[in-house]
Amino acid sequence: MEHSRLKIAIDCDDAATGLKKVLFDYLVEKGIQITDLNYRGAGSAMYPDIGYHLARKIKEKEFDRGILLCGTGLGMSIVANKVEGVYAGVCHDVYSAERLCKSNNAQIITLGARVVGPELAKKIIEAWIQSEFEGNGSLAKVKRIHELESETFHALEV
């Protein structure tokens, strides 16, 4: 998909409001279609609620990709992966951000505001946006992830 046509959602918890603003403004400036879900603004939601909310939007195809921010990126990654068919990974370097899409076909990237600074975060997000799933040798592995996921999301009841 052409990068300017990507529909991206972004959200964060209290630990990452500053980084969210920096990344939101950066992507708007680059002409990327981005929506700040600001789920926290609807009340005092905790990061699990914020991350789950964005991941559901991805599953429902309201957005192509999502950016979730918290102190480390770890908690947001864990909760986003609780939504069937949605894949997230925490990235604190450019190479991992590229591989998140190219090898793993993940729709959500998570970052930690207490781990990366604003300039590095911009580079990470830029690399992630520019990347697309390559398939190739990774295709069988991603298919296997889907198969394993269906075993736990739809486990047979005895």
DSSP letters of 24-81?
A: HHHHHHTT-EEEE--GGGGS---HHHHHHHHHHHHHTTS-SEEEEEESSSHHHHHHHT
What confidence score (pLDDT) does residue 4 get? 61
- The question of whether 70 is a catalytic residue gets the answer yes
Is the pLDDT at 69 greater than 70? The verdict is yes
CA nearest to 88, candidates 117, 65, 62: 65
Q: Which CATH architecture has domain 3-153?
A: 3-Layer(aba) Sandwich (3.40)
Query: Please, which pLDDT band fits residue 140 given cuts at 50, 70 and 90?
Result: low
Q: Could you tell me what percent of the chain has a pLDDT over 70?
A: 85
Query: Among residues 12, 70, 91, 101, which one is catalytic?
Result: 70
pLDDT at residue 149, rounded to an integer: 77
Which residues is 10 bridged to in the sheet? 36, 67
Is pLDDT of 131 > 70?
yes
pTM of the prediction?
0.89
Q: Which residue has the higher pLDDT, 126 or 152?
A: 126
pLDDT of residue 29: 95
pLDDT beyond 70 at 9: yes
Where are the chain's structural domains?
3-153
Convert the pLDDT of each residue in 25-55 to its tens digit: 999 999 999 999 998 655 667 899 999 999 9
